[in-house]
């Protein structure tokens, strides 16, 4: 088991190298002069441009730039963005908000998805099941920005139950609405996945045996049906956690959340190379760690899986 975890961490190295190289190359190939964005409309004197070029190693060939960047990362120095702020500080500033949002969305989609999926699965073919299935289909079919704007308008603007946008503090109540919107689509998937899995397991032989042992219906469902059914659901939730941590560009945009997604979006618009590469690399690492977490959780849920 320990060996397995060590091996998984070792696997992060090529992933890290490959990802940074690829992203660095893409940013490098962007058309236009990166210094133009820094200088703004009035432009800079040639001397200043040359200075900037030297500061950000833009005068070096691609490989040297990349290696210098790597050297920085390995010495825990992500460098500064084009506005001169340290990138590490920016990530440390915006990531907590995104993490909070992601975890809230994950909890919402997991709790509601599993509970609704369980009830629908146990009552297969009845009215609750059918209506929930139709609803989830609608949620999946409608684009996220439509749902986002719709809920912002109804709940935030019309009913005024909460602020339509999120302030710099990003409090729990402010984040609730964006978290619901963010979790909505995955909620529909979790629901469907749980439902299918429950239907499959509820007729399993060991469930019948558990019933024959004299267990109460409740215990049979919770201990024998639900736990077994959660195995595929957990896989999905884990992958989703990685995706959510990466910040949802659309949702964060709609609700003006100062999170990773928004920051990345602005960096791309500004052609801020160092910033884009650092954030994307950070996200890749988060994603890999989330996946590792899922695999470990998986082994805990299903003892037949043993990693060696």
Partner 1 sequence: MSHSISSEGGRRAARNDPAAPAASGDVRPLLELRDLAITFTTSNGDVPAVRNAHLTVMPGETVAIVGESGSGKSTTALAAIGLLPGNGRVSNGSIIFDGEDITHASEKRIIELRGSSIGMVPQDPMSNLNPVWKIGFQVKETLRANGLPSGPQDVAKVLSEAGLPDAASRANQYPHEFSGGMRQRALIAIGLSCRPRLLIADEPTSALDVTVQRQILDHLDTMTEELGTAVLLITHDLGLAAERAHKVIVMYKGQVVEAGPALELLTNPRHPYTQKLVASAPSIASRRIESAKKAGVETDDLLAPAAAKGPSLDRVIEVEDLTKVFKIRGSWGKSTDFTAVDKVSFSIARGTTTAVVGESGSGKSTVAKMVLGLEGATSGSIRFDGVDITTLGRKQMFDFRRRVQPIFQDPYGSLDPMYNIYRTIEEPLRVHGVGDAKSREKKVRDLLDQVALPSSMMQRFPNELSGGQRQRVAIARALALDPEVVICDEAVSALDVLVQAQILNLLADLQANLGLSYLFITHDLAVVRQIADHVAVMEKGRLVEQGTTDEVFDNPKTAYTQALLAAIPGAGLVLPPEVA
DSSP at 165: S
Q: Please identify, among the stretches 10-18, 95-103, 219-227, 265-273, the one whose residues bind partner 1 according to the rule CB under 8 A.
A: 219-227
Q: Is 127 in the site for partner 1 (CB under 8 A)?
A: no
C-alpha 266/C-alpha 275 separation (Å) is 10
C-alpha 254/C-alpha 84 separation (Å) is 28
Q: Which residues contact 171 (CB under 8 A, 6 or more apart)?
A: none
Least distance between partner 1 and beta carbon 303 (Å) = 5
Q: In this chain, which of 51, 67, 206, 222 binds partner 1, going by CB under 8 A?
A: 206
Q: Is 217 in the site for partner 1 (CB under 8 A)?
A: yes
Looking at beta carbons only, is 25 or 206 nearer to partner 1?
Answer: 206
Looking at beta carbons only, is 47 or 212 nearer to partner 1?
Answer: 212
Looking at beta carbons only, is 42 or 217 nearer to partner 1?
Answer: 217
Q: In this chain, which of 208, 222, 266, 293 binds partner 1, going by CB under 8 A?
A: 208
Looking at beta carbons only, is 33 or 302 nearer to partner 1?
Answer: 302
Question: Which residues, 2 to 31, sit near partner 1 by CB under 8 A?
Answer: 3
Q: In this chain, which of 2, 13, 47, 212 binds partner 1, going by CB under 8 A?
A: 212
Looking at beta carbons only, is 71 or 208 nearer to partner 1?
Answer: 208
Contacts of 4-13 spanning 24+ positions with Cβ under 8 A: 4/307, 4/308, 5/292, 5/296, 8/292, 8/295, 9/292, 11/288, 12/285, 12/288
Question: Which residues, 39 to 78, sit near partner 1 by CB under 8 A?
Answer: none
Q: Are the C-beta atoms of 89 and 279 separated by less than 8 Å?
A: no
Q: Which residues contact 188 (CB under 8 A, 6 or more apart)?
A: 113, 135, 136, 137, 139, 140
First to last CA, the chain: 6
> Judged by CB under 8 A, how many residues of this single chain contact partner 1?
26
Indicate the SS3 state at residue 57. coil
Q: Is 222 in the site for partner 1 (CB under 8 A)?
A: no
Q: In this chain, which of 210, 243, 250, 289 binds partner 1, going by CB under 8 A?
A: 210
Q: In this chain, which of 85, 126, 219, 266 binds partner 1, going by CB under 8 A?
A: 219
C-alpha 302/C-alpha 232 separation (Å) is 10
Q: Are the C-beta atoms of 198 and 117 separated by less than 8 Å?
A: yes
Looking at beta carbons only, is 3 or 63 nearer to partner 1?
Answer: 3
Q: Is 126 in the site for partner 1 (CB under 8 A)?
A: no
Looking at beta carbons only, is 145 or 206 nearer to partner 1?
Answer: 206
Residue reference for tokens 């619901």 = 180
Binding site for partner 1 (CB under 8 A): 3, 203-217, 219, 223-224, 227-228, 301-304, 308
């Amino acid at each position: 088991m320990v060996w397995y975890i060590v091996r998984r961490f070792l696997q992060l190295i090529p992933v890290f190298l490959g990802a940074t190289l690829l992203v660095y190359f893409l940013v490098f190939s962007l058309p236009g002069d990166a210094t133009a964005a820094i200088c703004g409309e009035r432009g800079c004197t040639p001397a200043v441009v040359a200075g900037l070029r030297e500061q950000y190693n833009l005068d070096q060939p691609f490989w040297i730039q990349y290696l210098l960047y790597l050297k920085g990362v390995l010495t825990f120095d992500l460098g500064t963005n084009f506005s001169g702020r340290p990138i590490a500080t920016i990530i440390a500033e915006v990531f907590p908000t995104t993490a909070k949002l992601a975890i809230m969305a994950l909890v919402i989609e997991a709790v509601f998805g599993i509970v609704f999926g369980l009830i629908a699965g146990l009552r297969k073919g009845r009215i609750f099941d059918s209506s929930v299935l139709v609803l989830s289909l609608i949620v999946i079919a409608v684009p996220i920005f439509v749902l986002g704007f719709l809920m912002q308008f109804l709940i935030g603007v019309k009913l005024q139950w909460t602020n339509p946008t999120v302030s710099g503090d990003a409090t729990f109540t402010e984040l609730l609405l964006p978290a619901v919107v963010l979790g909505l689509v995955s909620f529909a998937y979790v629901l469907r996945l749980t439902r299918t899995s429950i239907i499959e397991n509820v007729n399993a032989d060991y469930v019948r045996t558990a019933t024959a042992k004299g267990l109460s219906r409740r215990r049979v469902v919770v201990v024998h049906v639900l736990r077994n059914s959660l195995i595929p659901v957990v896989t999905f939730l884990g992958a989703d956690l990685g995706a959510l941590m990466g910040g949802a560009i659309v949702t964060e945009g709609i609700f003006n959340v100062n999170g990773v997604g928004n920051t990345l979006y602005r960096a791309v618009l500004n052609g801020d190379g160092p910033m884009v590469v650092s954030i994307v690399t950070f996200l890749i690492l988060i994603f890999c760690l989330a996946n590792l977490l899922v695999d470990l959780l998986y082994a805990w849920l299903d003892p037949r899986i043993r990693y060696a």
